[in-house]
Chain A
Amino acid sequence: MAENDGNGEDGVRRRDFINIAAVSFAGVGGIAVVLPLVSQMSPSADVLAESSTEVDTSKIEAGQGITAVYRKQPLFVRRLTKKEIDEANAVDISTLRDPETLEQRTKPGHTDMLITMGVCTHLGCVPLGIQSDQNRGPFGGYFCPCHGSAYDTAARIRKGPAPKNLQVPDYVFTSDTVVSVG
Protein backbone atom coordinates (compact mmCIF):
# COMPACT_ATOMS: atom_id res chain seq x y z
CA MET A 1 0.00 0.00 0.00
CA ALA A 2 2.95 2.26 0.46
CA GLU A 3 4.30 2.21 -3.09
CA ASN A 4 2.69 5.48 -4.09
CA ASP A 5 3.94 7.25 -1.04
CA GLY A 6 5.42 10.56 -2.04
CA ASN A 7 7.01 11.44 1.27
CA GLY A 8 10.02 9.23 1.17
CA GLU A 9 11.47 6.63 3.49
CA ASP A 10 10.85 8.35 6.81
CA GLY A 11 7.11 8.69 6.27
CA VAL A 12 6.86 5.06 5.30
CA ARG A 13 8.84 3.82 8.24
CA ARG A 14 7.01 5.91 10.77
CA ARG A 15 3.65 4.76 9.51
CA ASP A 16 4.72 1.16 9.36
CA PHE A 17 6.11 1.40 12.85
CA ILE A 18 2.88 2.73 14.29
CA ASN A 19 0.75 0.16 12.51
CA ILE A 20 3.01 -2.68 13.52
CA ALA A 21 3.11 -1.43 17.11
CA ALA A 22 -0.69 -1.14 17.24
CA VAL A 23 -1.21 -4.62 15.84
CA SER A 24 1.44 -6.03 18.19
CA PHE A 25 -0.25 -4.49 21.18
CA ALA A 26 -3.50 -6.10 20.11
CA GLY A 27 -1.69 -9.41 19.77
CA VAL A 28 -0.05 -9.18 23.18
CA GLY A 29 -3.38 -8.21 24.74
CA GLY A 30 -5.05 -11.18 23.08
CA ILE A 31 -2.43 -13.57 24.41
CA ALA A 32 -2.63 -12.07 27.90
CA VAL A 33 -6.37 -12.73 27.95
CA VAL A 34 -5.77 -16.39 27.18
CA LEU A 35 -3.79 -16.89 30.40
CA PRO A 36 -6.69 -16.59 32.88
CA LEU A 37 -8.90 -18.52 30.47
CA VAL A 38 -6.47 -21.44 30.61
CA SER A 39 -5.60 -21.05 34.28
CA GLN A 40 -9.23 -21.18 35.41
CA MET A 41 -9.33 -24.87 34.48
CA SER A 42 -6.57 -25.93 36.90
CA PRO A 43 -7.58 -27.04 40.40
CA SER A 44 -9.29 -24.35 42.44
CA ALA A 45 -8.19 -23.31 45.93
CA ASP A 46 -10.69 -25.58 47.70
CA VAL A 47 -9.56 -28.61 45.69
CA LEU A 48 -5.91 -27.91 46.44
CA ALA A 49 -6.69 -27.45 50.13
CA GLU A 50 -8.28 -30.86 50.30
CA SER A 51 -5.10 -32.56 49.15
CA SER A 52 -4.04 -33.84 52.56
CA THR A 53 -5.48 -36.70 54.56
CA GLU A 54 -4.86 -38.22 57.98
CA VAL A 55 -5.08 -41.98 58.46
CA ASP A 56 -5.15 -43.90 61.73
CA THR A 57 -3.30 -47.19 61.23
CA SER A 58 -3.75 -48.54 64.75
CA LYS A 59 -6.68 -50.79 63.93
CA ILE A 60 -5.17 -52.51 60.90
CA GLU A 61 -4.18 -56.13 61.60
CA ALA A 62 -1.30 -57.78 59.80
CA GLY A 63 -2.46 -59.11 56.44
CA GLN A 64 -5.28 -56.61 56.27
CA GLY A 65 -5.67 -53.20 54.79
CA ILE A 66 -8.01 -50.26 54.52
CA THR A 67 -8.91 -47.92 51.70
CA ALA A 68 -8.60 -44.28 52.67
CA VAL A 69 -9.23 -41.33 50.38
CA TYR A 70 -6.46 -39.06 49.17
CA ARG A 71 -7.17 -36.40 46.52
CA LYS A 72 -10.50 -38.07 45.82
CA GLN A 73 -8.71 -41.30 44.94
CA PRO A 74 -8.35 -44.57 46.87
CA LEU A 75 -5.33 -44.82 49.11
CA PHE A 76 -4.30 -48.38 50.09
CA VAL A 77 -2.99 -48.68 53.64
CA ARG A 78 -1.93 -52.26 54.28
CA ARG A 79 -0.08 -53.96 57.13
CA LEU A 80 2.10 -56.71 55.67
CA THR A 81 2.57 -60.07 57.33
CA LYS A 82 6.04 -61.41 58.09
CA LYS A 83 5.65 -63.80 55.17
CA GLU A 84 4.69 -61.02 52.76
CA ILE A 85 7.70 -58.94 53.83
CA ASP A 86 10.01 -61.87 53.29
CA GLU A 87 8.50 -62.53 49.87
CA ALA A 88 9.02 -58.92 48.90
CA ASN A 89 12.62 -58.89 50.13
CA ALA A 90 13.43 -62.17 48.36
CA VAL A 91 12.95 -60.62 44.93
CA ASP A 92 16.06 -59.66 42.98
CA ILE A 93 15.23 -56.07 42.16
CA SER A 94 17.34 -56.06 39.02
CA THR A 95 14.68 -58.25 37.48
CA LEU A 96 11.93 -55.71 38.12
CA ARG A 97 10.34 -53.39 35.60
CA ASP A 98 10.44 -50.54 38.11
CA PRO A 99 13.26 -51.49 40.51
CA GLU A 100 12.57 -50.49 44.13
CA THR A 101 13.06 -52.30 47.42
CA LEU A 102 10.40 -52.60 50.09
CA GLU A 103 12.59 -50.35 52.30
CA GLN A 104 12.49 -47.64 49.68
CA ARG A 105 8.72 -47.89 49.52
CA THR A 106 8.05 -47.69 53.27
CA LYS A 107 9.21 -45.53 56.17
CA PRO A 108 12.02 -46.61 58.52
CA GLY A 109 10.63 -48.48 61.49
CA HIS A 110 7.36 -49.03 59.67
CA THR A 111 8.41 -51.45 56.94
CA ASP A 112 5.22 -53.40 57.55
CA MET A 113 3.01 -50.38 56.68
CA LEU A 114 2.65 -50.33 52.91
CA ILE A 115 0.93 -47.10 51.85
CA THR A 116 0.27 -46.67 48.14
CA MET A 117 -2.25 -45.11 45.85
CA GLY A 118 -4.98 -47.57 44.89
CA VAL A 119 -4.65 -46.51 41.29
CA CYS A 120 -3.23 -48.89 38.71
CA THR A 121 -0.36 -47.20 36.87
CA HIS A 122 -1.64 -48.59 33.60
CA LEU A 123 -4.84 -46.64 33.03
CA GLY A 124 -6.11 -45.77 36.47
CA CYS A 125 -8.44 -48.60 37.56
CA VAL A 126 -8.59 -49.60 41.24
CA PRO A 127 -6.73 -52.90 41.69
CA LEU A 128 -8.19 -55.70 43.84
CA GLY A 129 -6.45 -57.07 46.90
CA ILE A 130 -6.72 -54.51 49.66
CA GLN A 131 -9.22 -56.80 51.35
CA SER A 132 -7.83 -60.24 52.08
CA ASP A 133 -10.77 -62.02 50.43
CA GLN A 134 -10.16 -60.33 47.09
CA ASN A 135 -8.12 -61.76 44.23
CA ARG A 136 -4.57 -60.64 44.97
CA GLY A 137 -3.17 -62.08 41.75
CA PRO A 138 -0.22 -64.40 41.17
CA PHE A 139 2.20 -62.32 43.32
CA GLY A 140 0.02 -61.91 46.40
CA GLY A 141 -0.13 -58.11 46.31
CA TYR A 142 -2.71 -56.46 44.12
CA PHE A 143 -4.33 -57.46 40.90
CA CYS A 144 -5.96 -55.09 38.47
CA PRO A 145 -8.92 -56.73 36.78
CA CYS A 146 -9.17 -54.20 33.97
CA HIS A 147 -6.10 -55.26 32.00
CA GLY A 148 -4.49 -57.91 34.19
CA SER A 149 -1.64 -56.03 35.86
CA ALA A 150 -0.30 -58.00 38.85
CA TYR A 151 1.54 -56.35 41.76
CA ASP A 152 3.57 -58.12 44.43
CA THR A 153 3.43 -57.69 48.21
CA ALA A 154 5.43 -54.46 47.95
CA ALA A 155 2.90 -53.25 45.32
CA ARG A 156 5.55 -53.46 42.61
CA ILE A 157 4.49 -54.24 39.08
CA ARG A 158 5.43 -57.80 38.15
CA LYS A 159 3.22 -58.78 35.25
CA GLY A 160 0.82 -57.11 32.86
CA PRO A 161 0.77 -53.81 31.02
CA ALA A 162 1.30 -51.34 33.91
CA PRO A 163 4.63 -49.49 33.53
CA LYS A 164 5.27 -48.51 37.16
CA ASN A 165 4.83 -49.72 40.72
CA LEU A 166 1.77 -48.43 42.58
CA GLN A 167 2.66 -44.87 43.49
CA VAL A 168 3.75 -44.12 47.06
CA PRO A 169 2.45 -40.64 47.98
CA ASP A 170 4.36 -38.22 50.22
CA TYR A 171 3.48 -38.97 53.83
CA VAL A 172 4.86 -38.79 57.35
CA PHE A 173 4.07 -40.62 60.58
CA THR A 174 2.85 -37.82 62.86
CA SER A 175 2.73 -40.33 65.71
CA ASP A 176 3.36 -44.04 66.00
CA THR A 177 0.02 -44.86 64.46
CA VAL A 178 -1.19 -41.72 62.63
CA VAL A 179 -0.09 -41.00 59.09
CA SER A 180 -0.47 -37.63 57.43
CA VAL A 181 -0.58 -37.99 53.66
CA GLY A 182 0.10 -35.10 51.28
Chain B
Amino acid sequence: MIRLFGISIGLVFAVAVLWAFANGVVSVAPVVSQYGSFTEPTAETVFHRHPKELHLQSDGPLGTWDYAQLQRGYQVYKEVCSACHSMKFLAFRDLEQLGYSPAQVKAEAATWQVPGVNPDTGEADMRPGTPIDSFPSPYPNKIAAAAANNNAVPPDLSLITKARHGGASYVYSLLTGFQPQPAALLKEFPDAKTPPGLHYNPYFANLNLAMAPPLTAEGQVAYGPGNPKPTINQMATDVAAFLTWTAEPKLQKRHQTGWPVLGFLLLATILAYLAKQQIWAAIKPKKTAATGSSDA
Protein backbone atom coordinates (compact mmCIF):
# COMPACT_ATOMS: atom_id res chain seq x y z
CA MET B 1 0.00 0.00 0.00
CA ILE B 2 2.73 2.37 1.01
CA ARG B 3 4.61 1.34 -2.10
CA LEU B 4 1.68 2.04 -4.39
CA PHE B 5 1.24 5.40 -2.74
CA GLY B 6 4.95 6.13 -3.03
CA ILE B 7 5.10 5.12 -6.68
CA SER B 8 2.21 7.41 -7.57
CA ILE B 9 3.70 10.38 -5.69
CA GLY B 10 7.03 9.73 -7.35
CA LEU B 11 5.43 9.64 -10.77
CA VAL B 12 3.54 12.87 -10.11
CA PHE B 13 6.72 14.73 -9.17
CA ALA B 14 8.66 13.21 -12.04
CA VAL B 15 5.97 14.06 -14.58
CA ALA B 16 5.62 17.61 -13.22
CA VAL B 17 9.34 18.28 -13.39
CA LEU B 18 9.71 16.67 -16.81
CA TRP B 19 6.83 18.83 -17.99
CA ALA B 20 8.79 21.82 -16.75
CA PHE B 21 11.84 20.43 -18.55
CA ALA B 22 9.87 20.12 -21.77
CA ASN B 23 8.76 23.72 -21.42
CA GLY B 24 12.38 24.67 -20.85
CA VAL B 25 13.48 22.88 -24.00
CA VAL B 26 10.85 24.69 -26.04
CA SER B 27 11.89 28.09 -24.77
CA VAL B 28 15.63 27.44 -24.94
CA ALA B 29 15.69 25.82 -28.38
CA PRO B 30 15.37 29.08 -30.38
CA VAL B 31 18.02 30.77 -28.23
CA VAL B 32 20.43 27.90 -28.79
CA SER B 33 19.81 27.77 -32.52
CA GLN B 34 20.26 31.52 -32.85
CA TYR B 35 23.27 32.13 -30.60
CA GLY B 36 24.79 28.69 -30.11
CA SER B 37 24.60 29.15 -26.35
CA PHE B 38 21.90 28.70 -23.74
CA THR B 39 21.48 32.37 -22.98
CA GLU B 40 21.29 35.38 -25.20
CA PRO B 41 24.66 37.10 -25.12
CA THR B 42 24.74 40.53 -23.49
CA ALA B 43 27.46 43.12 -23.23
CA GLU B 44 28.12 41.85 -19.68
CA THR B 45 28.47 38.19 -20.62
CA VAL B 46 30.76 38.94 -23.53
CA PHE B 47 32.91 41.80 -22.28
CA HIS B 48 33.14 41.22 -18.51
CA ARG B 49 36.62 40.02 -17.62
CA HIS B 50 38.00 37.96 -14.77
CA PRO B 51 40.44 39.76 -12.48
CA LYS B 52 44.05 40.03 -13.57
CA GLU B 53 46.64 38.01 -11.72
CA LEU B 54 48.09 39.69 -8.68
CA HIS B 55 50.76 38.19 -6.46
CA LEU B 56 51.06 39.38 -2.89
CA GLN B 57 53.27 38.19 -0.10
CA SER B 58 50.16 37.25 1.86
CA ASP B 59 49.05 34.72 -0.78
CA GLY B 60 49.03 31.02 -0.15
CA PRO B 61 49.29 28.95 3.00
CA LEU B 62 52.71 30.41 3.84
CA GLY B 63 51.61 34.00 3.22
CA THR B 64 52.89 36.74 5.52
CA TRP B 65 52.53 40.51 5.61
CA ASP B 66 54.85 42.87 3.77
CA TYR B 67 54.65 45.68 6.30
CA ALA B 68 56.33 48.29 4.12
CA GLN B 69 53.77 47.58 1.42
CA LEU B 70 50.88 47.72 3.90
CA GLN B 71 52.11 51.10 5.13
CA ARG B 72 52.24 52.39 1.56
CA GLY B 73 48.79 50.97 0.96
CA TYR B 74 47.53 52.77 4.03
CA GLN B 75 48.95 55.99 2.64
CA VAL B 76 47.05 55.41 -0.62
CA TYR B 77 43.86 54.71 1.31
CA LYS B 78 44.31 57.83 3.39
CA GLU B 79 45.17 60.18 0.56
CA VAL B 80 42.88 58.78 -2.15
CA CYS B 81 40.23 56.24 -1.15
CA SER B 82 39.21 57.76 2.16
CA ALA B 83 37.77 60.79 0.34
CA CYS B 84 34.71 58.66 -0.45
CA HIS B 85 35.10 55.28 1.26
CA SER B 86 34.73 54.52 4.95
CA MET B 87 36.60 51.73 6.73
CA LYS B 88 34.49 51.43 9.82
CA PHE B 89 35.67 48.11 11.26
CA LEU B 90 39.23 49.40 11.57
CA ALA B 91 40.38 51.55 14.48
CA PHE B 92 43.50 53.71 14.45
CA ARG B 93 44.94 51.46 17.16
CA ASP B 94 44.95 48.63 14.58
CA LEU B 95 47.69 50.50 12.70
CA GLU B 96 50.11 49.37 15.40
CA GLN B 97 49.92 45.96 13.71
CA LEU B 98 51.51 47.53 10.60
CA GLY B 99 54.63 48.36 12.55
CA TYR B 100 53.83 51.87 13.75
CA SER B 101 54.73 52.72 17.35
CA PRO B 102 52.00 53.72 19.82
CA ALA B 103 53.21 57.33 19.66
CA GLN B 104 53.09 57.31 15.84
CA VAL B 105 49.59 55.86 15.94
CA LYS B 106 48.49 58.55 18.34
CA ALA B 107 49.92 61.26 16.09
CA GLU B 108 48.41 59.63 13.00
CA ALA B 109 44.99 59.38 14.66
CA ALA B 110 45.12 63.07 15.50
CA THR B 111 45.46 63.94 11.80
CA TRP B 112 41.92 62.60 11.24
CA GLN B 113 38.77 64.41 12.29
CA VAL B 114 36.18 62.16 13.90
CA PRO B 115 32.66 62.95 15.08
CA GLY B 116 32.54 63.98 18.70
CA VAL B 117 30.55 65.97 21.20
CA ASN B 118 31.44 69.47 22.30
CA PRO B 119 32.17 69.04 26.03
CA ASP B 120 30.73 72.44 26.88
CA THR B 121 27.59 72.61 24.76
CA GLY B 122 26.92 68.91 24.14
CA GLU B 123 26.41 69.58 20.47
CA ALA B 124 27.70 67.32 17.70
CA ASP B 125 31.16 68.38 16.76
CA MET B 126 34.34 67.18 15.10
CA ARG B 127 37.47 66.46 17.11
CA PRO B 128 40.89 64.95 16.34
CA GLY B 129 40.93 61.16 16.44
CA THR B 130 42.46 59.07 19.20
CA PRO B 131 43.82 55.53 18.82
CA ILE B 132 40.62 53.92 20.05
CA ASP B 133 38.43 55.68 17.47
CA SER B 134 37.34 53.87 14.33
CA PHE B 135 38.19 55.32 10.95
CA PRO B 136 35.55 57.95 10.26
CA SER B 137 33.14 57.88 7.37
CA PRO B 138 33.58 60.71 4.88
CA TYR B 139 29.81 61.24 4.94
CA PRO B 140 27.57 61.80 7.95
CA ASN B 141 25.08 59.18 6.73
CA LYS B 142 24.06 56.99 3.83
CA ILE B 143 21.79 59.59 2.27
CA ALA B 144 24.59 62.14 2.18
CA ALA B 145 26.88 59.51 0.65
CA ALA B 146 24.32 58.70 -2.03
CA ALA B 147 23.60 62.35 -2.73
CA ALA B 148 27.26 63.18 -3.18
CA ASN B 149 27.92 60.24 -5.52
CA ASN B 150 25.24 60.16 -8.16
CA ASN B 151 23.13 57.82 -5.97
CA ALA B 152 25.84 55.15 -5.74
CA VAL B 153 26.89 54.74 -2.10
CA PRO B 154 30.65 54.04 -1.99
CA PRO B 155 31.04 50.70 -0.20
CA ASP B 156 32.84 50.44 3.12
CA LEU B 157 36.34 49.12 2.43
CA SER B 158 37.04 47.21 5.68
CA LEU B 159 36.03 43.87 4.20
CA ILE B 160 36.11 44.61 0.50
CA THR B 161 38.65 41.94 -0.45
CA LYS B 162 36.58 39.28 1.31
CA ALA B 163 33.32 40.64 -0.04
CA ARG B 164 34.19 40.34 -3.72
CA HIS B 165 34.99 37.35 -5.90
CA GLY B 166 38.65 37.58 -6.74
CA GLY B 167 39.54 39.52 -3.57
CA ALA B 168 42.69 41.60 -3.84
CA SER B 169 43.07 40.78 -7.55
CA TYR B 170 39.62 42.24 -8.14
CA VAL B 171 40.46 45.46 -6.32
CA TYR B 172 43.73 45.76 -8.21
CA SER B 173 42.07 44.99 -11.57
CA LEU B 174 39.29 47.46 -10.95
CA LEU B 175 41.71 50.24 -10.02
CA THR B 176 43.84 49.67 -13.09
CA GLY B 177 41.05 48.59 -15.44
CA PHE B 178 39.42 51.87 -16.43
CA GLN B 179 39.50 52.29 -20.22
CA PRO B 180 37.49 53.69 -23.10
CA GLN B 181 34.58 51.52 -24.14
CA PRO B 182 35.79 49.12 -26.89
CA ALA B 183 34.46 49.88 -30.35
CA ALA B 184 33.56 46.20 -30.76
CA LEU B 185 31.19 46.45 -27.80
CA LEU B 186 29.38 49.44 -29.23
CA LYS B 187 29.14 47.75 -32.59
CA GLU B 188 27.70 44.56 -31.14
CA PHE B 189 25.52 46.13 -28.45
CA PRO B 190 24.73 49.73 -29.48
CA ASP B 191 22.37 50.07 -26.49
CA ALA B 192 25.13 49.29 -24.01
CA LYS B 193 26.86 52.66 -24.35
CA THR B 194 28.23 53.79 -21.00
CA PRO B 195 25.71 56.31 -19.60
CA PRO B 196 26.96 59.78 -18.66
CA GLY B 197 28.40 59.89 -15.15
CA LEU B 198 29.50 56.27 -15.27
CA HIS B 199 32.88 54.87 -16.24
CA TYR B 200 33.64 51.82 -18.36
CA ASN B 201 35.57 49.08 -16.57
CA PRO B 202 35.50 45.49 -17.86
CA TYR B 203 36.36 44.09 -14.42
CA PHE B 204 33.15 45.45 -12.91
CA ALA B 205 30.24 43.02 -13.14
CA ASN B 206 27.96 45.27 -15.16
CA LEU B 207 30.82 47.06 -16.93
CA ASN B 208 29.83 50.61 -15.97
CA LEU B 209 30.98 51.94 -12.66
CA ALA B 210 29.98 55.10 -10.80
CA MET B 211 33.46 55.52 -9.36
CA ALA B 212 35.71 57.69 -11.48
CA PRO B 213 39.27 56.40 -11.95
CA PRO B 214 40.79 57.18 -8.53
CA LEU B 215 44.45 56.61 -9.44
CA THR B 216 45.18 58.80 -12.42
CA ALA B 217 48.82 59.86 -12.36
CA GLU B 218 52.18 58.52 -11.37
CA GLY B 219 53.29 60.10 -8.11
CA GLN B 220 49.73 60.94 -7.08
CA VAL B 221 50.70 59.65 -3.65
CA ALA B 222 54.20 60.67 -2.63
CA TYR B 223 55.93 57.62 -1.16
CA GLY B 224 58.74 58.26 1.30
CA PRO B 225 62.39 57.54 0.46
CA GLY B 226 63.37 53.89 0.05
CA ASN B 227 60.02 52.92 -1.42
CA PRO B 228 59.29 51.86 -5.00
CA LYS B 229 58.22 54.45 -7.52
CA PRO B 230 54.52 55.30 -7.05
CA THR B 231 53.30 54.20 -10.45
CA ILE B 232 49.57 53.63 -10.83
CA ASN B 233 50.28 49.94 -10.93
CA GLN B 234 52.34 50.11 -7.74
CA MET B 235 49.77 52.21 -5.88
CA ALA B 236 46.98 49.85 -6.92
CA THR B 237 49.00 46.82 -5.80
CA ASP B 238 49.84 48.45 -2.48
CA VAL B 239 46.30 49.44 -1.68
CA ALA B 240 45.05 45.98 -2.67
CA ALA B 241 47.57 44.50 -0.24
CA PHE B 242 46.46 46.94 2.45
CA LEU B 243 42.80 46.03 1.91
CA THR B 244 43.71 42.36 2.20
CA TRP B 245 45.03 43.18 5.64
CA THR B 246 42.02 45.27 6.65
CA ALA B 247 39.69 42.42 5.69
CA GLU B 248 41.64 39.73 7.50
CA PRO B 249 44.14 41.20 9.97
CA LYS B 250 44.62 37.79 11.58
CA LEU B 251 45.72 36.11 8.32
CA GLN B 252 49.39 35.81 9.25
CA LYS B 253 48.59 34.56 12.75
CA ARG B 254 46.16 32.07 11.24
CA HIS B 255 48.83 30.68 8.92
CA GLN B 256 51.40 30.58 11.68
CA THR B 257 49.00 28.72 13.98
CA GLY B 258 47.86 26.34 11.25
CA TRP B 259 51.19 24.72 10.46
CA PRO B 260 52.05 23.51 13.98
CA VAL B 261 48.46 22.32 14.40
CA LEU B 262 48.64 20.33 11.16
CA GLY B 263 52.03 18.90 12.07
CA PHE B 264 50.74 17.79 15.45
CA LEU B 265 47.63 16.26 13.91
CA LEU B 266 49.68 14.40 11.32
CA LEU B 267 51.84 12.81 14.02
CA ALA B 268 48.82 12.04 16.16
CA THR B 269 47.02 10.45 13.22
CA ILE B 270 50.02 8.29 12.31
CA LEU B 271 50.21 7.13 15.92
CA ALA B 272 46.48 6.49 15.96
CA TYR B 273 46.86 4.41 12.81
CA LEU B 274 49.70 2.36 14.27
CA ALA B 275 47.76 1.85 17.50
CA LYS B 276 44.74 0.73 15.53
CA GLN B 277 46.84 -1.71 13.51
CA GLN B 278 48.33 -3.14 16.68
CA ILE B 279 44.96 -3.64 18.27
CA TRP B 280 43.41 -5.22 15.21
CA ALA B 281 46.45 -7.38 14.39
CA ALA B 282 45.21 -10.11 16.71
CA ILE B 283 42.00 -10.79 14.88
CA LYS B 284 42.99 -9.91 11.35
CA PRO B 285 42.38 -12.98 9.16
CA LYS B 286 45.58 -12.40 7.18
CA LYS B 287 48.66 -14.19 8.40
CA THR B 288 50.83 -11.38 9.57
CA ALA B 289 53.61 -12.87 11.59
CA ALA B 290 55.58 -11.15 14.31
CA THR B 291 52.93 -8.71 15.44
CA GLY B 292 51.51 -9.61 18.80
CA SER B 293 48.16 -11.31 19.08
CA SER B 294 45.89 -9.56 21.44
CA ASP B 295 42.87 -11.24 22.88
CA ALA B 296 40.85 -8.25 23.80
Contact = CB atoms under 8 A, between A and B. Distances in A.
Given A19-B275, A25-B268, A49 B294 contact: no
B102 to A, nearest CB: 10
Given A7-B293, A19-B275, A25-B272, 6 more contacts: A7-B292, A15-B278, A18-B271, A23-B275, A25-B267, A25-B271
Interface string B150-165: 0000000000000000
A15 B294 contact: yes
Interface residues of A, number: 23
A14 to B, nearest CB: 8
A11 B291 contact: yes
Nearest to B278: A15
A22 B274 CA distance: 9
B275 A11 contact: no
A133 interface: no
Contact of B93 (A11, A22, A29, A49): A49
Nearest to A26: B268
Contacts of A32: 264
Interface residues of B, number: 21
Nearest to A4: B295
Contacts of A21: 271, 275
B103 interface: no
Interface of B: 91, 93, 131-132, 264-265, 267-268, 271-272, 274-275, 278-279, 290-296
Contacts of B279: 19
Chain A interface secondary structure, helix, strand, loop or mixed? helix
A26 B264 CA distance: 10
A12 interface: yes
A49 B91 contact: yes
Contact of A22 (B264, B268, B293, B294): B268
Nearest to B279: A19
Q: Which 9 A-B pairs have the closest CB atoms?
A: A11-B292, A25-B268, A22-B275, A22-B271, A49-B93, A7-B292, A15-B278, A4-B295, A49-B132
A58 to B, nearest CB: 12
18 contacts: A1-B294, A1-B296, A2-B292, A4-B295, A7-B290, A7-B291, A11-B291, A15-B278, A18-B271, A18-B275, A19-B275, A22-B275, A25-B264, A25-B272, A28-B264, A29-B268, A32-B264, A45-B93
A43 to B, nearest CB: 13
A100 interface: no
